Amino acid sequence: MTAQIKIAQVSKIFKTPGDDVVALRDINLEIPNGQFVCLLGPSGCGKSTLLNAVAGFSHPTSGSITVDGSLIKDTGPDRGMVFQEYALFPWMTVEQNIAFGLTIQKMPQELIDSKVAELLETLKLVEFRKRFPKDLSGGMRQRVAIARILALNSPIMLMDEPFGALDALTRRSLQDELLKIWQEHKKTILFVTHSIEESIYLADRIIVLTYRPGTVKRDVLVDIPRPRDPSSAEFNALKRELGALVMEEQQRHQQAELCGLSSD
Ligand SMILES: Nc1ncnc2c1ncn2[C@@H]1O[C@H](COP(=O)(O)OP(=O)(O)OP(=O)(O)O)[C@@H](O)[C@H]1O
């Protein structure tokens, strides 16, 4: 399956009692099939707002988002979302959580069973299949969340800081698994992070956003062969370059907060 996301002149304004918050302004992005794209920027620059608009959870105030030429009006099976907070059903076991979307689609039971068995294998969850989410570590829960999205076979995976709450080792091992899955299943991935290192480790392309309003500050193609070595010179050169860009936005954020405080 193939997909292409086209974001054209997208702006998003949140109306609040005090003020209007311009979260995104005139975002233009074209994401080809199979590209791994990271949205990078400090807190509040609109990363989640943009991802939610692509997911169809909320609508842009102006502009349009299309997938394969069709306007996004709602959520859809072509776009699977993985959140930071492991959105699993607590009353279902691991295998029931993974099977959920397929059951809803009324897939024949033998097909569901074989699909779930394959995903349990891929995500190294076989021995945990009868457990409930509360009896799993954060890393395990996130594996289940990823398996659940893969079960639906969405050509596009939308991921909102999925590894943000994990320790460094678990995070690296899930990043490696995600890269493997992405290469094997040829997904298009839009991945939100505020970790510069994570974005360089994972992405084909990094979109740095400005702080309020969120606009595209830099569109960077990452031309480093995989597997990428975070201690290599080219990795560190890019890290410094992106670090300077993100820092500028971080400072704008702090200044905006200080101005807000002094006007209180
Ligand atoms: N429902 C809402 N109502 C009002 N303002 C909102 C709403 N949702 C987001 N915002 C504002 O829009 C801006 C962008 O928020 P968003 O959550 O997209 O940023 P982010 O880059 O994902 O940040 P973080 O990394 O902290 O999640 C922020 O200033 C935020 O306060």
Interval 20-68: pLDDT, tens: 899 999 999 999 999 999 999 988 899 999 999 999 999 999 999 999 9
In a domain, 68, yes or no: yes
| Average pLDDT of the residues in 88-99 | 92
In a domain, 209, yes or no: yes
Please name the residue whose Cα sits nearest to atom 17 of ligand 1: 48
Check if the beta carbon of residue 185 is closer than 8 Å to that of residue 36. Answer: no
In a domain, 254, yes or no: yes
In a domain, 84, yes or no: no
In a domain, 116, yes or no: no
Interval 61-90: pLDDT, tens: 999 999 999 999 999 888 988 887 767 899
In a domain, 125, yes or no: no
DSSP secondary structure string, 59-97? --SEEEEEETTEEP-S--TTEEEE-TT----TTS-HHHH
CATH number of the domain where residue 226 is located: 3.40.50.300
The overall average pLDDT reported for the chain is 90
Q: Which residues pair with 6 in a beta bridge?
A: 30, 66
How does residue 239 score in pLDDT terms, banded at 50, 70 and 90?
A: very high
User: Per the structure block, which two tokens stand in for 232?
Assistant: 């290599």
Q: In angstroms, what is the span from residue 23 Cα to ligand 1's centroid?
A: 7
- Examine the pLDDT at 262 and tell me if it is beyond 80: no
Please name the residue whose Cα sits nearest to atom 16 of ligand 1: 46
How does residue 250 score in pLDDT terms, banded at 50, 70 and 90?
A: confident
Check if the beta carbon of residue 148 is closer than 8 Å to that of residue 97. Answer: yes
Looking at beta carbons, which pairs linking 24-30 to residues 24 or more positions away fall under 8 Å?
24/49, 24/50, 24/53, 24/60, 24/213, 24/214, 24/215, 25/213, 25/214, 25/215, 26/63, 26/215, 27/63, 27/214, 27/215, 27/216, 28/216, 29/5, 29/207, 29/216, 29/219, 30/4, 30/5, 30/6
Give residue 173's domain range. Answer: 5-78+154-262
Q: In angstroms, what is the span from residue 46 Cα to ligand 1's centroid?
A: 6
How does residue 261 score in pLDDT terms, banded at 50, 70 and 90?
A: low
> Quick check: CB of 12 below 6 Å from ligand 1?
no
In a domain, 23, yes or no: yes
Interval 165-217: pLDDT, tens: 788 888 898 899 899 989 988 899 999 999 999 999 999 999 999 988 999 99
In a domain, 131, yes or no: no
Angstrom distance (rounded) from CA 51 to CA 80: 11
Pocket test for ligand 1, best of 12, 39, 49 (most atoms within 8 A of CB): 49
Total domains present in the chain: 1
How does residue 137 score in pLDDT terms, banded at 50, 70 and 90?
A: confident
Q: In angstroms, what is the span from residue 20 Cα to ligand 1's centroid?
A: 12
- Examine the pLDDT at 103 and tell me if it is beyond 90: no
Interval 141-157: pLDDT, tens: 888 988 888 888 889 99
> Quick check: CB of 47 below 6 Å from ligand 1?
yes
> Quick check: CB of 46 below 6 Å from ligand 1?
yes
- Examine the pLDDT at 116 and tell me if it is beyond 60: yes
